[in-house]
Structure 1
């Protein structure tokens, strides 16, 4: 980070990867008795981006101070699948294995030209937010970030079969996502209690790239044995040995926390950003609130804002989003209230993509308010999503991001918020639904009001308030397409991505199955999200800029505080965390 317009590349030796941990006591509860604390770089937000930034700054010879608004570390990152989308990553694609290819079909090789082709083909040019320079910075520095973390002790695994979300687009590939290995959280000691966690997270040590196994694990012997490995060996087995296995977002955060802890880096929890300090046009620090006192922190090299977006700030959602705008469907924790974005706006920072989010179809229990992502329920056969007219309006098996966008688009002409996932008894007999095992539907699901049931489609339509004639004709038409094995309306099941999450026992199309066996079921689908896509506008060095493109010296942004380089698309699993974690590793950034 730097306090001038020129990007910083500190001329200091980098400590070797095997440098012994700092033996001093943790500084996580550092005193605020010093009136004006000093640091090289002030990092605001202790998610994956902030933890990595603190660690990276330390290795560059700087003195970081990491502050976090809440009592816990990890933020939204710890609640995610933990996939990190990095084309040409050295875990899946060792340098010696990379070969050039001009094929438009997904392959198990990857190159910078193919990755760039994929991004430029997929993402519409919408100004500087997804400029060629920003794309190239991400693509060239991402693999370096992965390799550097591996050198300092982070344990990755590859997902060689995990497809990009648009495998038919030129330059698409398999295996561009990596994630943390199963990790023993007990290694964190007392710090384990500081890791953010959601009550809806599972204790089963499943990796994000195995998320297609659980809803259908009894459908084939191969899936069943993989399920046993996950549950008996990796989960129960580890616990019998006295370990506490974590995967996905918790592995990502736990490993980063351990690296930060072992270096004795300073972390202030329950510390809220009040405003940035601006002197002669340069950001030189910030005023924060800690222990009910305002503390001025001076940062000689600048401030990095990586405190998330504004998913839980209804006022901002209503200001920027199309109606209906609500914070009741998001999966992001309450502290995500746009503090960092607003602090940047107050000193003249430009923003972009403020009307977009990382959409994800979501169930909401109307009685308890509990939210649950809807991934596999809509991928699998014997179900469709319909609007108030009873008509389909999307490929139900496409990426979750596209589902959210199309639900809002449909709602402009036909009420589609909420939409309804309509299933028959075959779906309930074969697959998981929310937390319910196949064939077991507790009465509470109906008394809570989130699951509806009826003996016929017309009765179900009346129960959920959609057009009965529209629903019955839609299902009749859909069943005819199932018989052919082809979704002529929305191409469900033709993409490799769709098929990855389908039921392999259903032929010829793993995503299609008839809706004909009574009773029938329906559950509301809301356009939930994993956070905001919009934020402060940055250049290829993560430097925050004004509307005229002028850099604000000393101010940097990353993660969901910064507008996404991905524009209005979601290229693959981990397209949020990939750029967020790469930002700190940019040459000069």
Structure 2
């Protein structure tokens, strides 16, 4: 049973956290012949990884090579170095690029994890040398959750919004084909629905698809892999403190069922327990203002920075503490957490404005850069947080925006009544809409007229929206001349509030190329490792591609486990 405490209190390796990086580290450590324990403070395993897209950014991967793709270490290093700049030690960059392809090949051949290349998903910074128009981001294959047995009940479940019709699993490749309306998208959707409908065995157990996709697929595969190795996972086990003897981390103290336990880690402790985005005090201490924990798209109550503060207490160095994996979010009443707005911003016919009614960023830009632009613009006159996404009836009919499914599927009459004037605002004219949301009407009118002209010519002279392959990835391939631009001319008009949200913090414990936590004196702290958002990102302040969070988390988990096994 997952939550049952075993009598054993000493292990070679203790992994704190149960996200993708943590469980990948545990799998690899167990394969090295080490005894491993995974501890998780919540009553569900999977962390933020379970509700993520599950993608991993792995340059020079074997999947792309098998499809004839051309990538190399040198090309990837050129790109990553250009993106990260001088904010990250080159040894860490090189370690990531060297071991990331090995990590995923290892997991594919030794565990239940299965991926496919998203060969059309571009790197985010197409203007940088070494970027590729696709092939570096990998998308999880579907996973049969019946293989988990009762353990499936303890997994953090994905939001219904990531499922087709709220219940059918589909990959990011499926979603892209549908959202961009590529040739054959309707037939593809029909096939997915038929597969679900004909799964009589799965349907007997409930309405939800027994197959998992995206981050849920990855977590389910890793959990099954831990079960194969008989690695214990303790839930409801909260990390409290590090145990240090003669300068070496030798264990941890945890709280479980109201009891304090001391657990010995003979070879090492690996922190893979997220960042500090759910800790309002730490947000106010480190992140740009304004900042709110309830703007974050991560699970409330988790990722509160306990590991960060415990390591700082023994002298650990930190870096990038004023950065997060930014993503604009929309709050929906009654839901546990806000929804990140990722693909929808690229759809043609929606614009984003500040309080002056003016655009300030390319709406289709990567989500980290989008919120960074919100903060930079807000510093000028406090008018860009929140921002507002504006669209017309034509957009509303054809496309989704956050919780609003296209009106052809979910007309306004079927929306929850409490959403009006809380999730979305609606008016017959742009002037009326602007006055409802407190945006300058003249500014909004001028902006819409300007964008409508851009839509006619196909050229966004202000922010070059739709001007590169990344922007166009989620554009509507049927809209010409620019798949990301369409005029706003048909009432009623709609607005939705965008907050400066995130999918985790980016700063954390400074580590070396072996994932060892560094002391403020520059030396590794013996016995202590950090991966994922508990560590300062190997990407620096950049976000090179889809899967730029989980890819490094799993890679440095792989590195840490192997380093521990080889160190003694």
SS of alignment partner, residue 502 of structure 2: strand
Q: Deviations over 1:485-505 (max 9, x none)?
A: 100100000110111100011
CA displacement 1:493-521 (0-9 Å, x = unmatched)? 01101111000111110000001111111
Q: Please, which of 489, 492, 503 is the counterpart of residue 519 of structure 1?
A: 492
Preserved contact between residue 458 and residue 482 of structure 2 (Cα < 8 Å): yes
Q: TM-score, normalised by structure 2?
A: 0.92
Instruction: Name the TM-score, length of structure 1 as normaliser.
Output: 0.89
Q: Distance in 2 between matches of 1:239 and 1:562?
A: 44
The residue that corresponds to 1:409 in the other structure is: 376
State the partner residue of 2:519.
546
Match of 2:149 in 1: 189
CA distance in 1, matches of 2:338, 2:235: 27
Structure 2 distance, partners of 1:508, 1:481, is: 10
The alignment status of 1:166 with 2:128, answered yes or no, reads: no
**Contact map agreement 1:216 1:431 (CA 8 A) in 2:** no
Partner residue of 1:213?
177
CA distance in 2 between counterparts of 1:33 and 1:162 reads 47
Q: Return the match for 1:50 from 14, 22, 25.
A: 22
The structure-2 alpha-carbon separation of the partners of 1:228 and 1:54, relative to structure 1 and needing over 3 Å to count, comes to: same
SS of 1:93's equivalent? helix
Task: Kindly state the Cα deviation for residue 445 of structure 1 after the two structures are TM-superposed.
Answer: 5.9
Asked if 1:557 is matched to 2:530, the reply is: yes
Aligned match of 2:248 in 273, 282, 289?
282
- The one of 360, 369, 378 aligned to 2:327: 360
8 A contact 1:365–1:448 mirrored in 2: no
Confirm whether residue 144 of structure 1 aligns to residue 102 of structure 2: yes
Any residues of structure 2 matched to 1:29-40 within 5 Å, and which?
A: 29-31=3-5, 33=7, 37-40=9-12
CA deviations over 1:278-317 (Å, ceiling 9, x no partner): 1111111111111211111111111111111111111100
Give me the whole-angstrom Cα distance separating, in 1, the residues matched to 2:494 and 2:5. Answer: 56
Q: Which residue of 2 aligns with 1:390?
A: 357
Shift of 1:263: 1.4
Show structure 1 runs of 4+ deviating over 6 A. none
Partner of 2:286: 320
Report the Cα offset of residue 337 of structure 1.
Answer: 0.8
After superposition, the Cα gap between the structure-2 partners of 1:366 and 1:466, relative to the gap in structure 1 and judged at 3 Å, is farther
User: Do 1:30 and 1:266's aligned partners in 2 also have CA atoms closer than 8 Å?
Assistant: no
SS at match of 1:178: strand
Decide whether aligned partners of structure 1 residues 451 and 140 sit closer, same or farther in structure 2, where only a CA change above 3 A counts: same
- Give, in whole Å, the separation in 2 of the partners of 1:585 and 1:367: 38
| Aligned match of 1:115 | 76
* Number of positions where the alignment pairs a residue of Structure 1 with one of Structure 2: 544
Deviation at 1:50, TM superposition (A): 1.5
Q: 2:189 aligns with which of 197, 217, 227?
A: 227
Q: Check whether the contact 2:351–2:359 (CA below 8 A) recurs between aligned residues.
A: yes
Larger CA deviation: 453-462 vs 192-201:
192-201
Quote the Cα distance in structure 2 between the aligned partners of 1:239 and 1:539: 50
Alignment of 1:245-264 (within 5 A): 245-264=211-230
Alignment deviations for residues 166-222 of structure 1 (CA, whole Å, 9 cap, x no partner): 1232111211111321111011001110111244442322112333234454xx652
TM-aligned CA deviation for residue 444 of structure 1: 1.7
Q: Which residue of 263, 272, 282 corresponds with 1:297?
A: 263
What does residue range 67-78 of structure 1 map to in structure 2 within 5 Å?
Answer: 67-78=39-50
- Shift of residue 248, structure 1, vs aligned partner: 0.3
Q: Please say if residues 466 and 484 of structure 2, whose CA atoms lie closer than 8 Å, have aligned partners that are also in contact.
A: yes
Q: Take 2:44 and 2:210, find their aligned partners in 1: how far apart are those partners?
A: 19
CA distance in 2, matches of 1:238, 1:136: 45
Of 127, 133, 144, the residue aligned with 2:91 is 133
How far apart are 1:547 and its partner, in Å? 2.2
Matched with 1:12 is none
Pick which of 133-142 and 476-485 moved more.
Answer: 476-485
In 2, the alpha carbon distance for the partners of 1:77 and 1:368 equals 18
Contact 2:291-2:500 within 8 A present in 1 as well: no
Q: Does the 8 Å CA contact 1:445/1:451 hold for their aligned counterparts?
A: no
Q: 1:402 to 1:333 in 2, by over 3 A?
A: same
Q: Tell me, which stretches of 5 or more residues in structure 1 are unaligned?
A: 1-25, 98-107
**Deviation for aligned residue 1:426:** 1.1
Paired position in structure 2 for 1:421 = 389
| CA displacement 1:86-129 (0-9 Å, x = unmatched) | 101112224x95xxxxxxxxxx3110000000001122212xxx
RMSD: 1.8
Match of 1:588 in 2: 563
Worse-matched range after superposition: 460-469 or 191-200: 191-200
C-alpha spacing 1:31/1:464, structure 2 compared with 1 (3 Å):
closer
Change (3 A) 1:245 1:368: closer
Query: How many angstroms apart in 1 are the aligned matches of 2:389 and 2:420?
Result: 18
Shift in CA distance, 475/31, structure 1 to aligned 2, threshold 3 Å: closer
Task: Render the CA deviation track for 1:47-70: whole Å, top value 9, x for unaligned.
Answer: 111111111111101111111101
- Cα distance between partner residues in 2 of 1:206 and 1:368: 22
Which ranges in structure 2 are unaligned for 5 or more consecutive residues?
Answer: 204-208
Which whole-Å CA distance do the structure 2 matches of 1:375 and 1:539 have between them? 31
The offset of 1:131, in angstroms, is: 1.2
CA positional deviation for 1:429: 1.6
Question: Which secondary structure state, in structure 1, belongs to the residue aligned with residue 293 of structure 2?
Answer: coil
